[in-house]
């Protein structure tokens, strides 16, 4: 070994020792969680075990056939690997590129060792999925939960997740003389320290962005502030504006600047440019003192913000938008206003909004009593549904993309997290007040009261049919959080006589943040109404190239009144994006 290499090795050993001590100290800060939020409850394992025993008793040949097939494929794979090693030549490559992006490295096909490991993993994964599919489970809920748990195990055990069986990480370690592994350990220590002992991988470089400086920079003023929200009015960019103001309620699970990441994909800037007097709510990131804030406080905040906008613009009516959970709460608010005979809302738009929770979809595993009971116990301890727990739960809906893939790049490859604004926003999540979180989980998600017997607020039993204002619902075709058919089903039950549905291509965020000019994702519009079901609407709908924003813009402009001189926010108010948006959840 040369002198420089020896010196480098000694330096790396010292760095590893220092980092190891920091890692152990950081891990010791982790607060223990209730077992209910660490994994499925015992009932799921008992259900699966009973189903397997029943199959073994009633259909033993089925179990034997599964085992024989598994061992036959395993022995065949082992024999092929032995043959390749004995001959000393690479494995013949398979035709076409690998379907799974985790195995893009050519060594997964050409090298006997890695080829054997990959094929055995795929054999194991297929055997597990077939075994799970073969269980006679009591209901669809148990089926979805078992399938979800099986997928989690399969993804977790991928050979790409382990250094000894990841050719990309091994090649990088050799190329950098181990420096990549040391940097990976530094990244791991940083993440554990930043998240209070939790091992949560950073999806984006936290130092690359500053809200108000290089993202969230649309010009405006904080024209009203309460303990729960700041109300921002944006500066007009046109001489004339629509008379009816527009108020957007973003979700309080994340920050509002998803609608203003960069000038070129900012919905806020686009709406201002279309001649709307635009107001946006920026929610407070709550601490434990907000534990007793429930849906009542949020609906009251909606009403107060509406009143403030009407006062500032001297208008009796306004147009409103709700995104995700804020759209759910907006729907409750609209139902309440209808019950009270209050017609302040001229029209409402819902972005990726669920109001009928009869189908839990990919959230089925998380919306059973064992997990929700665990969340309730966490809330009793902290007063909050803390952001890290919420982020972890959401990430495991797309584990390969949001957990294992980023962990490999950061911890095994030693790469710096990317400077990606969307992922930066995704990691800037917020806490949820305990009372509100449990009302949402128990009353809306589990009991489905809004679509059923009625969700009680302010002494009223609110139902979907109570929503009477003109509506436009925008859903996203690839949305795994709010599936478009579920969004459609809720709107179909609303009592509005005028309802429009727009379906954007792509997912929960990319489908919404889809500005004109890119033409990356198209959108569907239809005139068939809500009588023939979601798929019937889709079959008769028309696919348009490019962003849905102009289609919605036409709908909104038709309900925004005549043109008047532009309105400007009070220059003495604090500048946008305000102060609440800078509060980070710990």
Per-residue pLDDT tens over the stretch 196-245? 888 889 899 988 999 999 999 999 999 999 999 999 999 999 999 999 99
| Euclidean distance between CA atoms 134 and 122, whole angstroms | 18
Among 577, 24, 490, 526, residue whose Cα is nearest residue 257: 577
| Euclidean distance between CA atoms 419 and 404, whole angstroms | 19
| Euclidean distance between CA atoms 368 and 363, whole angstroms | 9
Q: What is the DSSP string of 16-82?
A: HHHHHHHHHHHHTTPPPPPGGGTS--HHHHHHHHHHHHHHHHH-HHHHHHHHHHHHHHHHHHHHHHH
Say which residue the tokens 């198209």 belong to: 522
Residue 362's pLDDT is what?
84
Return the half-sphere exposure (C-beta side, CA atoms, 13 A cut-off) of residue 305: 33
| Euclidean distance between CA atoms 420 and 418, whole angstroms | 5
Which residues in the chain show pLDDT less than 70? 1-6, 9, 89-98, 586
Residue 586's pLDDT is what?
66
Burial 240-263 (b: 16+ CB within 10 A, else e): ebbbbbbbbbbbbbbbbbbbbbee
Tens-digit pLDDT profile for residues 164-201: 999 999 999 999 888 999 999 999 999 998 888 888 89
Tokens of 242: 């629509």
H helices then E strands: how many in the chain? 20, 17
Residues designated catalytic: 324
Estimate to the nearest angstrom the gap between the alpha carbon of 466 and the chain centroid. 29
Residue 3's pLDDT is what?
59
Vertex 419: Cα angle to 482 and 25 (nearest 5): 90
Residue 5's pLDDT is what?
67
Residue 98's pLDDT is what?
67
| Euclidean distance between CA atoms 90 and 107, whole angstroms | 9
Residue 91's pLDDT is what?
61
């Amino acid at each position: 070994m040369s002198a420089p290499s020896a010196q480098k090795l000694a330096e790396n050993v010292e760095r590893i020792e220092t980092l190891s001590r920091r890692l152990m100290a950081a891990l010791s800060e982790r607060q223990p969680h209730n077992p209910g939020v660490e994994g499925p409850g015992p009932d799921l394992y008992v259900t699966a075990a009973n189903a397997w025993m029943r199959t073994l008793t009633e259909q033993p040949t089925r179990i034997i056939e599964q085992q024989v097939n598994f061992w036959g494929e395993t022995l065949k794979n082992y024999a092929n690997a032995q043959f390749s090693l004995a001959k000393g030549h690479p494995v013949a490559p398979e035709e076409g590129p690998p379907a799974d992006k985790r195995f893009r490295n050519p060594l997964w096909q050409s090298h006997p060792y890695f080829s054997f490991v990959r094929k055995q993993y795929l054999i194991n994964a297929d055997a597990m999925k077939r075994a799970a599919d073969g269980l006679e489970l009591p209901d669809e809920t148990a089926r979805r939960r078992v399938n979800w748990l099986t997928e989690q195990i399969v993804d977790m055990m991928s050979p790409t997740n382990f250094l000894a069986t990841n050719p990309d990480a091994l090649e990088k370690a050799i190329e950098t003389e181990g420096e990549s592994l040391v940097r990976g350990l530094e990244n791991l220590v940083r993440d554990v320290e930043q998240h209070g002992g939790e091992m949560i991988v950073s999806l984006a470089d936290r130092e690359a962005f500053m809200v108000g400086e290089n993202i969230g920079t649309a010009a405006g003023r904080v024209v009203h502030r309460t303990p729960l929200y700041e109300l921002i009015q944006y500066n007009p960019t046109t001489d004339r504006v629509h008379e009816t103001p527009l108020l957007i309620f973003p979700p309080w699970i994340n920050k509002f600047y998803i609608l203003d990441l960069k000038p070129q994909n900012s919905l806020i800037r686009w709406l201002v440019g279309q001649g709307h007097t635009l107001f946006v709510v920026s929610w407070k990131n709550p601490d434990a003192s907000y534990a007793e804030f429930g849906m009542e406080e949020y609906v009251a905040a909606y009403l107060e913000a509406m009143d403030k906008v009407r006062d500032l613009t001297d208008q009796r009516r306004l147009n409103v938008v709700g995104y995700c959970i804020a759209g759910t709460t907006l729907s409750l608010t609209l139902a309440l206003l209808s019950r009270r005979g209050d017609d302040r809302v001229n029209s409402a738009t819902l972005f990726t909004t669920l109001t009928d929770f009869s189908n839990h979809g990919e959230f089925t595993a998380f919306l059973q009593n064992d997990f929700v009971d665990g969340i309730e116990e966490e809330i009793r301890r902290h007063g909050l549904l803390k952001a890290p727990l919420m982020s972890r739960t959401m990430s495991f809906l797309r584990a390969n993309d949001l957990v294992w893939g980023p962990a490999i790049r950061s911890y095994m490859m030693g790469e710096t997290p990317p400077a990606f604004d969307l992922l930066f926003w995704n990691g800037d999540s917020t806490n949820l007040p305990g009372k509100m979180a449990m009302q949402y989980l128990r009353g809306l998600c589990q009991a489905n009261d809004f679509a059923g017997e009625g969700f009680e607020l302010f002494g009223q039993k609110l139902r979907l049919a109570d929503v009477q204002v003109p509506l436009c619902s925008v859903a996203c075709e690839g949305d795994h959080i709010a599936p478009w058919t579920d969004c459609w089903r809720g709107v179909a039950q609303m009592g509005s006589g005028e309802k429009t549905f727009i379906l954007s291509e792509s997912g929960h965020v990319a489908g919404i943040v889809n500005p004109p000019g890119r033409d990356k994702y198209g959108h569907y519009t239809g005139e068939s109404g809500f009588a023939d079901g979601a798929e019937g609407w889709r079959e008769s709908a028309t696919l348009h190239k490019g962003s849905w924003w102009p289609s919605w813009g036409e709908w909104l402009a038709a309900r925004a009144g005549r043109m008047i001189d532009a309105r400007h926010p009070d220059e003495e108010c604090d500048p946008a994006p305000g102060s609440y948006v800078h509060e980070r959840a710990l």
